[in-house]
Amino acid sequence: DHAMFSSRGCVLLLVSVVHIGSAGAFLSYPLAWGRGMVGVQGASSSRAMRLQSKNQILMAMTDLGLTPELEKMTKQFAMVPDPKMRYQQLLFFASKLPPMDKELQVEENKVKGCQSVVYVHASKDESGKIVFQGDSDSQLTKGLAALLVRGLSGNTVDDIVKVSPEFIKEAGLAVSLTPSRNNGFLNMLNSMKNQALALKD
């Protein structure tokens, strides 16, 4: 759904971003198109710029080895124009992360090298696909854990180990992470890959 608004000479398009699964949806955000009414030429130019941006994002995804769900979420994050909105979306993800079983929050599942306390655990479902659980005492890190849990669960070990950590840059999330949190994200992803490898037949 979308609606046009005009306020103080500024035209806004309110975009409701596509629902991305049963665990939650992207928040709606306002996209400013500039001051004054947008004429036909201006609108065409804006559409062309958005199409070019979308094509650049699609090209950047091809070599990242992403799972289908992780690719979808990465594209949707990349289309959000405001870093603050992407940050808020991570917090929204954190609020939707299913609780992790307390008995799994043990030293063995603790991610080393993280600024926050983070736990991740891998198991296999009936079809032999890998399913993850995760948790953290930091909401931002918990949002990153939720992103990885949703993006990696339901895939094979081979699909999981192919994922490049560079997707965090393509999603536009790296700008919201301090160097220590970025290292924590890398450690989290590597821990999940190693746990998945340990379950490989």
Catalytically active residues are 114
Beta bridge partners of 3: 14
User: In this structure, are residues 111 and 191 in contact, taking their beta carbons and an 8 Å threshold?
Assistant: yes
Distance CA 195, CA 14 (A): 41
Distance CA 53, CA 43 (A): 15
Dmax over Cα atoms in the chain, in whole Å?
63
The structure tokens listed for 162 are 């192919």
Long-range contacts, 161-168 (Cβ 8 Å, 24+) = 161/193, 161/196, 161/197, 162/65, 163/64, 163/65, 163/66, 163/67, 163/70, 163/189, 163/193, 164/63, 164/64, 164/65, 164/66, 165/189, 166/64, 167/61, 167/64, 167/66, 167/70, 167/74
User: In this structure, are residues 118 and 111 in contact, taking their beta carbons and an 8 Å threshold?
Assistant: yes
